[in-house]
Amino acid sequence: MSAENANAVELKGVTFQRGARKIFNNVDIFIPRGKVTGIMGPSGCGKTTLLRLIAAQLKPSQGEVWVDGKNLPTLSRAELFDMRKQMGVLFQSGALFTDLDVFENVAFPLRVHTQLPEEMIRDIVLMKLQAVGLRGAIELTPDELSGGMKRRVALARAIALDPQILMYDEPFVGQDPIAMGVLVRLIRLLNDALGITSIVVSHDLAETASIADYLYVVGDGQVLGQGTPDELMSSDNPRIRQFMQGTPDGPVPFHYPAANYRDDLLGGR
């Protein structure tokens, strides 16, 4: 694969096991460059694990993970850290450094990776915070911020070094409608303005479908379906339809596998 490839990230035949359980079984996922790709699926299907595989925080049991022409599982620890400068991740909790204020959190990647003078660092931090609408919160500490604000500061930190790939781990969870709207707009805006590749891992259907150019639906360790949001909405596959329409029972059962209900209730006598 060359760096000029149309895909920024390629997972080929990836299998990932945790103990005896296969979280992913021979999965192929291709993330197109410069687009917003959504990875959707029910909770607990391994979406976050997928992000960690792309970020090489986890190694696949089998298969290849190509990012910008490099097969990550074969890289050394030092090469990996170098590679990660081109990636940004927005974690679910924001993961701000609690001992630093908002300014220092956003300035952190610049301070450790560049030799820029202090005035320039200040300008860049202000610009990034302006982009997420929190320039006024520069002196606050993380514990003075609401959940939505934390995530926006974390977003400003994630784009501080102008990464090529930006990954979002469940960005819409626990957000009020206004914060949600802001984030949805920001993800699309940042993608188009900076020309980066965005990967949004989420189970919030409407929001993800509204900004994604391409969607993958994963479940049971497999890719259940892929396509543009419109294609998936009109899919004939009953599992995808269940997910896209949000029906509680269907091919994906509402009940966790259990013994016969009657036997269970009467068994104790």
Partner 1 sequence: MRSLPTLERIRLFGRAGIEVVEALGRSTLFLLHALLGRNGLGSGFQLLVKQLHSVGVLSLPIIIVSGVFIGMVLALQGYNILVDYGSEQAVGQMVALTLLRELGPVVTGLLFAGRAGSALTAEIGNMKSTEQLSSLEMIGVDPLKYIIAPRLWAGFISMPLLALIFSVVGIWGGAMVAVDWLGVYEGSFWGNMQNSVNFHEDVLNGVIKSIVFAFVITWIAVFQGYDCEPTSEGISRATTKTVVYASLAVLGLDFILTALMFGDF
- The site for partner 1 (CB under 8 A) is made up of 52, 55, 57, 77, 81-82, 84-85, 87-89, 91-93, 95-98, 108-109, 111-113, 154, 157-158, 161
Considering the complex, state which of residue 108 and residue 239 has its C-beta at the smaller distance from partner 1. Answer: 108
Residue type, position 155, single letter: L
Nearer to partner 1, 81 or 230 (CB): 81
**Closest distance between partner 1 and the C-beta of residue 113, in Å?**
6
**CA nearest to 147, candidates 171, 175, 128:** 175
Comparison of 161 and 186: residue with beta carbon closer to partner 1: 161
Q: Which is nearer to partner 1, 105 or 208 (CB)?
A: 105
> Shortest approach of partner 1 to residue 220 CB, angstroms?
26
How far is Cα 210 from Cα 185, in angstroms, rounded to an integer? 10
| C-alpha pair distances (Å), 206 with each of 6, 14, 65, 75 | 27, 28, 29, 37
Instruction: Name the residue nearer to partner 1 (CB basis): 190 or 209.
Output: 190
* 195/162 Cα distance (integer angstroms): 10
- Alpha carbon 137 to chain centroid, angstroms: 25
Smallest distance, Å, CB 61 to partner 1? Answer: 18
**Cβ-based burial of 74 (10 A; exposed 0-12, middle 13-18, buried ≥19):** exposed
* Residue of 85, 207, 89, 193 whose CA lies nearest to 151: 89
CA distances to 125, 138, 229 from 210, rounded to whole Å, are 29, 31, 8
**Cβ neighbours for 198, distance < 8 A, ≥ 6 positions apart:** 35, 36, 37, 165, 166, 167, 168, 187, 190, 191
> Which CB sits closer to partner 1, 105 or 242?
105
Give min distance, CB of 265 to partner 1, in A: 24
CB of 48 to partner 1, least distance (A): 10
Name the minimum Å distance from CB 60 to partner 1: 17
